Every structure is written in structure tokens, then in C-alpha cells.
Structure 1
Amino acid sequence: MSTVVAVLGATGGVGQHVCSAFRASGDRVLGIARRPSAAGSALRLDLAEAAPAQLAAALTAHRTEIVVNATGGWVLSAEAMHLAHVQIVERLVAASTLMPDPPRIVHIGTIHEYGPVPAGTLIDESRRPEPQTGYARTKLAGSQALLNATAAGTARGVVLRAVNVCGPGTTSASFLGAVLDRIRDVRPGDRVPMTIADARRDYLDVRDLTDAVVRAARAPESTVGQVINVGRGEAVAMRQLVDWLLAAAGLPPDTIDEQGAAVQSKGGDWTRADNRRAARLLGWQPRTALDASLRDMWHDAARRYSEA
């Protein structure tokens, strides 16, 4: 008998891949989103407005066994970040206490919850989180709400602290998504002024993140309550990522005319995740090379542009 998996944020860049992965493995997927679409959302529910009892009733009616929280994203205002990253998680936790059989909850957090670290640091789960930005602080608050409820026995959660993602469907609100939008109509010989952070960050293909989510959903009960970092374990220069995306578009590196300016970041200038716990507990490892991920990201976007 197939497992029923509810995916919150089912129409988002990560949520769509999570829905597809569980369907491919034979599970029944209940996609939940504010605006249902052909991407696979079966239940229209505004999680920013829904009371815990309403969410609990919906999950119970579908006999949900696993919930993946893929909501949130690159929202800007303090109010929007609190709503997307904290309040929705608190409502999900409250809903689980109202269910006769509480589901396992896989929550997608972020490596930025640890805050800035010195260059060269390999970030493992023993590091004390000290976030410095509104984005990172609210993401940590959401993760902590689930971890606290799990410790108290009122929820069954696993937190994946993921690095930045790339690959097919990457949102335009992200740095690489914004770069893709700016170069999509560029012709050879054109120059595009752009500010690129002098930073090195860990990036992961969205399909590798999705694989970690599926594994966390199926992992032994001993993984409940765990924080697990998910990344490639490599700190890559931002300019290198841009050059790979340019190559995928058939453009030379000098297409970008780098401009000097301050760059706002959701986290620090260095991220490199320690993957050893993910390997040990989930049997997970990244499989997609970043240059291949960015090629797929470009070709997926080109297909969508042509169909629009």
C-alpha cells in the first residue's frame, strides 16, 4: 500500500520536485498550495490563513503519514519572513498535535541558520546557530519550533539544513535565477553589467536535495529529532557559478561586466556543509555536478520561455 505524502508549498521551485520524486516512487502525493496548478497541487489551502484545526482535518482526511514543509523562500519584509518561516511551521506543529496519528514532518531549513562562519570552515551540526540576518533568524525560529515540539513528544520532525540550490525550476528571486533572467535574451558580443559577491558558497542541485527529503521521510525512527546538513561539501566562487551558467547559454565569460558595489546576502560569504551525518543516517550523497545542474537549469528555462 502506498504512503500518503503531503507537500506544503507544492507549486514552489523545490516543492514541485519533491512532489514528482514521491510520485515516481509510487507514493500518493497531496500537494498543498495557496494557488493550485498543473504542477500537482490537489488541495487549495492558504497556510498563512488556515487554522491548525483546518490543516489537521485535511491531513487526517487523506490519512497523511508524511508531511514535507517546502514553504518559504526569498521573501523580503520582516512580516513576510515571520509568516513564511515561523508561523506556518508553528501551525503545522499545532496541527500535528490534533491528529490521531501524527505524521513524520520533514522540514527544509537552511545552512544560513548557523550564521556567518570563518572562511575554510566545514559546517557540521554541532555548530551553535548564530544567525545575523532576518532571513536566517526566522528560518532558525521555524526549525527550532519543530525541534522543540519533537523533543516534547508533540511532533515527529526532522530538519534538513540545506545549502543554496540550483537546477531546473530555480526561482528568479534567487541570485542564479536572476542571472539567468538577465542573460536569456543576450546575444554574443553584448555586455551585461552585474554585481557579483566576492564569496564562496555551497550549492546543490535541487534534485539532490529532493533525494535527501525522500530519504529523510523513509529513514528509521531514530532520525526523528535530528538536524541534518545537506550540501555538496564544496565552497564554490560565485563568479564560477555565473561562468558555468554563461557556458550553458553559449556565451563567453566576458559577457558579464562586473560592477563594484555592496551585495546583500541572506547569510555569510562562506558556506560549506559537512555531509557526514547525511551519509550516515540517510545513506545520502550528492550526485549532480554543478556545471551539469546549471546546464539543466538553462535548458529548462529555455523550454519554458519557448512555451510561454
Structure 2
Amino acid sequence: MRVVVLGATGSVGRQVCAAYAARGWDVHGVARRPAPHLTGVGFTALDLAAAVPERIAAVLGDPPADVVVNAAGGWGDTEEEMTYSHLRLVRRLVEALGSVPHRPRLVHLGSVHEYGPVPAGTLLHEDLVPEPVTPYARIKLETSSAVLTAVRDGLLDAVVLRAANMSGPHPPQESFLAALMARVRTALADGGRLELSVADARRDYVDVRDVARAVVRAGQAPAAGGLVVNVGRGEAVPIGDLVGWLLEAAAFPEDRTDRRDLPVRSKGGDWTQLDVTRAWRLLDWTPRIGLRDSVHSMWRVAHGAAA
């Protein structure tokens, strides 16, 4: 069995490659530049948003892929950047998949932010009508919708995984946890105080390695074709807990920490909690890694210790 992972050098893509390799699959990664962790798997250096569909089809079809995972696309600072790296990429990918003689299963990584802000206590299920308000969330929803439309038009076999916020090893540099980890590291190095502004928000977080397991399951789950499937822990966890676990992992002295409340300013609202019943029912998937262990693992891996 062969899988092609688009965005193989990113936070999610590298874990997806590892999950498939551990199961004995022939793994082929695609990204703009190679990375050391992809040693031992096939690799194609390609800017997927700029490549013509024929070039993408050649990577997917020679030899034929059984599964294609789209974990590509940067966060971006502007709507134009995100349209280019997400929506343009998917449109070219859909055209490429439509031209290959076989029909691999596409697993597309969406985001919990596609739902938009909701009142506290809301359980986000897949049939809820999304109402995103930020450019990032709108583009992510438009990208996922393009995949689902292609499925309805008979052009693709695909599953959209709408993933919660992620923790665990190798977080994206743009993420909240990566930025916090950098600040903690700096404060440890210079012996100074750590000033933290923590929003009174609750979010559904899931370890990136659990997401990778869900991707593998989605690639071979016949009943999931054409559907959106939420992937999270199904819990709304206080952001302050994540901060506390990271400080604990870093052994940062409590008496050098100054905390204050901060209004919520992010890509979503102040509450996310996913209904993950469909993932359990169709993918036979539940998260295995606790969030405290996930945050500790993030710190250990970043500082050279085994996870």
C-alpha cells in the first residue's frame, strides 16, 4: 500500500508519515523542501500551490497511490496568502486526482475553526452549519467545501477530518503553544521573570499523534467517504491548564511567573468542544494521549529528550 503525504514536513504531515511507516506502508512525502526526519521515505520537492495539475498527478500516479493525505497549507498573514496556499492548492489537487486512472482515497485536514465562534457549552457536531468569521477560518471552510463538492460531483473519494487545536511534538511556529514554549525557553536562559497574559478560554485540544492515527483510519474507512469527521478529545480544556503543564514540563519557577487575564484574541472564539462520536463510530478511533503528557512531550522533544 502506498500513501502520498502532502505537506510532509509540517507538524501534522511528519506524524502522518511516521504513522504510516510504522504500519509498513510505502510512504512518499511532498513539500517545498526536504527535512531530516523524512530520511528513509520517498520524497518530491514541489510547491503544490504553484505546480500544474499534471505534475501533481504524476506524483500521485507513478506508482499509484492508495491514499493521499492533504496536510499542506501554511497559516498565512493575509487572506490572499491563505487563498493561495490552501484553496488554490486544493483546486489543483482535485483536478490532478480526477486525471489519474485509479481513484485513491483523499484524506483532507480541515480545522475546528471552520465552525466559527459558538456560545460556551455548545457541542460542535458535524451537521452544525459553519459560520466562520476570520479570514483563516473562512478559507479553511472554503477549502474543505471544495473537497466535499468534488465528492458529490463524483470526482473524488475523500474524507474531511475537522481537527481540534493540536498539542504534542513539533508544533507549528505560528501556534500558541510554540510561541509560549519559546518565551519560557528565553526566560529560563536569561534568568528573568515570565509575564503571561492568559485568556479565560476553553478549547478542545488533541495530540498531533492521535490526529495522525485518525488520518490512517480515515484512509481505509469505507463508510466515511464524502463525510466530515471531527477529530478531537471532546473536551473543552482551560487554556490556563495548558500553560500550567508547559511550565511544569520546563520546571519553571512559580515565583518568577506573573500572570494576568487577557481578552480572547484568536482564530476562534473562547469555546470549542467537538462531538467526536462519528470518529468513534466510523473510524473506530478515540484519542489515547492525555493532554498533560502531550504538552510534556512537546517540551521534551524540543529540548532533545526522548518523548
Normalising by structure 1, report the TM-score: 0.94
Cα pair distance change 1:261/1:242, threshold 3 Å: closer
- Tell me the residue number matched to 2:26: 28
Partner in structure 1 of residue 279 of structure 2: 278
Q: Residues 253 and 234 (structure 1 numbering): CA distance in 2 closer, same or farther, change over 3 Å?
A: farther
The SS at the match of 2:3 is: strand
Deviation at 1:253, TM superposition (A): 4.4
User: SS where residue 141 of structure 1 aligns?
Assistant: helix
* Distance in 2 of aligned mates of 1:198 and 1:227: 29
Alpha-carbon shift at residue 187 of structure 1 (Å): 3.4
Which residue in the other structure is 1:6 paired with? 4
Separation in 2 of the partners of 1:240 and 1:254? 18
3-state DSSP class of the match of 1:168?
Answer: coil
How many Å separate the matches in 2 of 1:13 and 1:202? 18
Q: Secondary structure at the match of 1:258?
A: strand
Residue 262 (structure 1) shift: 4.6
State the match for 2:103 in structure 1. Answer: 102
Q: Could you list the per-position Cα deviations for residues 259-299 of structure 1 after superposition, in whole angstroms to 9, with x for gaps in the alignment?
A: 45554311111000111000000000011110000110000
Contact 1:34–1:46 (CA under 8 A) maintained in structure 2:
yes
3-state SS in 1 of match to 2:69: strand
**1:187-241 superposed Cα distances (whole Å, 9 cap, x missing partner):** 3974212322221000000111111000001112x21101000100111111110
Please tell me the root mean square deviation across aligned C-alpha atoms, in Å: 1.7
Question: Mapping of 1:1-308 within 5 angstroms?
Answer: 3-40=1-38, 42-187=43-188, 190-220=192-222, 222-253=223-254, 255-259=256-260, 261-303=262-304
Question: Would you say the 8 A contact 2:235–2:274 is kept in 1?
Answer: yes
Secondary structure of the equivalent of 2:36?
A: coil
Distance in 2, matches of 1:194 and 1:84, equals 32
Corresponding letter in the other structure for 1:207 = R
Residue 128 (structure 1) shift = 0.4
Q: Deviations over 1:46-68 (max 9, x none)?
A: 11210111101221112111100
Higher mean C-alpha deviation, range 181-190 or range 245-254: 181-190
Rate the CA distance shift 1:244–1:159 in 2: closer, same or farther, 3 A. same
- Number of corresponding residues: 302
**Whole-angstrom distance in 2 between the partners of 1:44 and 1:214:** 23
Q: CA deviation at 1:255?
A: 4.0
Paired with 1:223 and 1:136, the residues of 2 have a C-alpha distance of 23
Question: Contact 1:172 / 1:181 at 8 angstroms: preserved in 2?
Answer: no
Look up the SS of the partner of 2:301 in the other structure.
helix
8 Å CA contact 1:85–1:141 kept in 2: the answer is no
Instruction: Determine the C-alpha separation between the residues in 2 that align with 1:71 and 1:254.
Output: 41
State how far apart, in whole Å, the 1-side matches of 2:242 and 2:59 are.
Answer: 41
Structure 1: stretches of 5+ with no match in the other structure: none
Kindly, what percent of the aligned residue pairs are identical? 50
Cα 1:252–1:240 shift into 2, 3 Å: farther
Distance (whole Å) between structure 1 residues aligned to residue 243 and residue 203 of structure 2: 13
Unaligned runs of 5+ in 2: none
Amino acid at match of 1:37: A
Q: Distance in 2 between matches of 1:125 and 1:184?
A: 38
User: What is the rounded CA distance, in whole Å, between the counterparts of 2:255 and 2:238 in structure 1?
Assistant: 16
Contact 1:34 1:44 in 2 (8 A): yes
My pick for the range that moved more, 263-272 or 207-216, is 263-272
Does the residue aligned with 1:218 lie in a helix, a strand or coil? coil
Cα deviation code 1:10-40 (max 9, x no counterpart): 0001100100110110000110000112221
* Matched residue type, 1:223: A
Task: Determine helix, strand or coil for the equivalent of 1:195.
Answer: strand
What is the CA-CA distance between 1:45 and the residue it aligns to? Answer: 0.8
